[in-house]
A and B are shown apart, each in its own frame.
Chain A
Amino acid sequence: MESTFSTTQTPIGQRLRRLLSKVPVILIVLLVVLILIALVAPTFYRPVALLNFLKRAAPIIVVAIGQMYVMLSGEFDLSVGSLITVCAAVAANVINNNPDNLALAFVWVFGIAIVVGLINGLIVTRLNVPSFVTTLGMLLVLQGAISIYTRGAPQGGITDNFRVFGRGNIEGTEIPYAFVIMLLVIAIGVYLMHFTTFGRRVYAVGGNPVAARLSGVNVGRIKTTAFVLSAVLAAVGAVLIAGFSGVSSLSVGQGYEFQSISAIVLGGVALGGGRGNIAGAVMGALTLQAMFSLLNFLGFPLPIRLSVQGLIIIGAVAIAARRGRT
């Protein structure tokens, strides 16, 4: 299997060159935004403030990395937002203000995520339902189910030993746990994607599913694994988000589906799969987050921010497409 697969694998030198030719667009945008922030709000670059910024960017980065696997394999996951809500609400319910229930809560949260990811993956690969429809349906099902389960508002409550992951700093330092978790996820993400057979197969499946199948790759299994990864990382995101602000409504995850997709596309992932990398996804998410901060520092009202966000997404992808052609 290894040998038949190597036909679709690119040599490391070429891969590096491709990496370099993709990164700049988003890197330039990110640098420009960061420089503008430096001009408008120099205090942003105090180490503490910077760490806090990264702490806030952590959930979107984590969720985006999960979404990235799905998109590289040529699919979408629109259900991450409502899955985040489900995980946060279930955690609150299971912990129910008793710190001893922490472990049980993690079992539930990640158990649910794995099941949801599996169902998404199996419907897409076994029943051939397009992922857009599958995950849109899943979004509705999860949203309705959690509302029925909680009767319309999150019950119970999360305790400090759960919240520390999204809110606290490592004892005696200014380093947030969220930042460390984010680094861990990035490290694992990079390892899985660029140094394992699984990662190469994700590229292969997204790039050319027929060729991948002919060379012996189990396309269904790869895609299903990608959906499970996306769901699990959405659950990690849920832990960070719920920890940061507490769980008080059933809209905690709203918008994360489109935000994560925007971040990844900004980072140079081709929709339809096969192209992109983790560094790009991380920078895309950072750029989005930094842009929000910049527009905030500049005192732009919310509506203008939406418009600017729209233009930047289109612009960045257009520039990337132009480069890709030459």
Chain B
Amino acid sequence: MSAIAQTQRRAGAFLNVLQTNPTLGVYAVLVIMLVACALFVPGFASSDNLINILQRSVALSLVSFGQTFAVVGGSLDLSVGNAISAMAVMTSLVMAGRVEMMIPTVILVIAVGMFIGLLNGLIVTRLRVNPFIATLGMSLFIQGVLFSGFDNFAGSVPREFEFLGYSTVGPIPVGVIFMLLVALGAYFLLRHTRFGYHLYGTGGSAEVARLSGVRTGRVLIIAHVLTGLGAALTAIFIASRLRAGAPWVGQGFELESISAVVVGGAPLSGGRGGIWGTLAGVLILSILSNIFNILNVGAFAQDVLRGAILIAVVAFYTARIRR
């Protein structure tokens, strides 16, 4: 009897640790998933398949890293989907198949992404519009401009530009290396700079942060600029994968990136979460897509499972052990 109680207490303590450190919790989910899939899903554990999972994660992870900054700051960005579409179109339109335009275009697109983020940040902080509305409005605005300008795939990227989406270094795709480098950079910004420190403070409690001398408005604006940057990187990567941008290629990234961040253990109320959690969140979503493919799960059932798993994973983080 007491042995059972003790095991229960131990299990409870283990769960408690997982829940007080969300990133650990996320990785626990990820590891359990990997082990279960390796055991029960035929062909899952092959190196080709694992590399595909990583490759599949690149586009979503870049924008999700950006989204992480907004969410940690207690904000969010619903405009990234349409912004990605717009910037993907811009990438292929400006490059127009010319090799010499590759670098200028990348710089331009990154600048545009950061500018959109800057506008979002200004609207949220200076005009005091709730981020949900500010970025929803921005999203509609961008979509309107985009659809009045473009009907279809516009322009194209030169073959050389496809190295980002398709080349490999040894067995590892360039895109995956790029993803990890961006993750490292984002991690450094978030955890080892004054800005990152202030961002956590702002998201945790803007009032306290302001009282202790943090310029919360500026911090939040920078966070939104970085979210825009993440969207720009995804747009560039997608343009490389698709060889051209079209006005609808980014649709769905807004809710998916927020899902990834949340599955990665960051509460939408801000102040917590991190890049490695988000990366794990993206990987969890990619593994789901991958095993749905392997197991031939019907498209309608996939929706049901995705929804239920999303809720279940977050419920796992938030559940409190009853004593």
Contact = CB atoms under 8 A, between A and B. Distances in A.
Interface of A: 76, 123, 127-130, 132-134, 136-145, 147-148, 152, 258, 261-262, 265, 270-272, 301-314, 317-318, 321-322, 324-325
B304 A265 contact: no
B14 to A, nearest CB: 20
Interface string B253-269: 00100110010000111
A139 B314 contact: no
Chain A interface mostly helix, strand, loop or mixed?
helix
A219 to B, nearest CB: 15
B98 interface: no
A318 B311 contact: no
Interface stretch (B62-70, B108-116, B122-130): B122-130
16 contacts: A123-B315, A136-B259, A137-B311, A141-B308, A143-B303, A261-B136, A262-B133, A262-B136, A271-B132, A303-B143, A306-B147, A310-B141, A313-B136, A313-B137, A314-B138, A318-B129
A264 to B, nearest CB: 10
Contacts, number: 148
A307 to B, nearest CB: 3
Contacts of A311: 137, 141
Interface residues of B, number: 46
Given A303-B147, A306-B144, A318-B127, A123 B311 contact: yes
B307 interface: yes
B144 A141 contact: no
A137 B105 CA distance: 37
B140 A309 contact: yes
Given A144-B300, A144-B302, 4 more contacts: A303-B148, A309-B140, A311-B141, A317-B130
A147 B255 contact: no
B15 to A, nearest CB: 14
A138 B309 CA distance: 11
Given A148-B301, A271-B133, A136 B310 contact: yes
Contacts of B72: none
A321 B131 CA distance: 13
Interface string B289-302: 00000000011111
A85 B306 CA distance: 19
A148 B308 CA distance: 15
Contact of B269 (A130, A261, A321): A130
Contacts of B134: 314, 317
Contacts of A142: 307
Contact of A140 (B137, B267, B298, B306): B306
Nearest to B255: A136
B308 A137 contact: yes
Which of the listed residues A139, A140, A312, A325 has the most CB atoms from chain B within 10 Å of its own CB? A140
B152 to A, nearest CB: 14
A147 B258 contact: no
B205 interface: no
Nearest to A318: B127
Contacts of A321: 127-129
Nearest to A311: B141
A127 B316 CA distance: 8
A303 B145 contact: yes
A229 B318 CA distance: 25
A129 B314 contact: yes
B146 interface: yes
A132 B123 contact: no
A140 B255 CA distance: 11
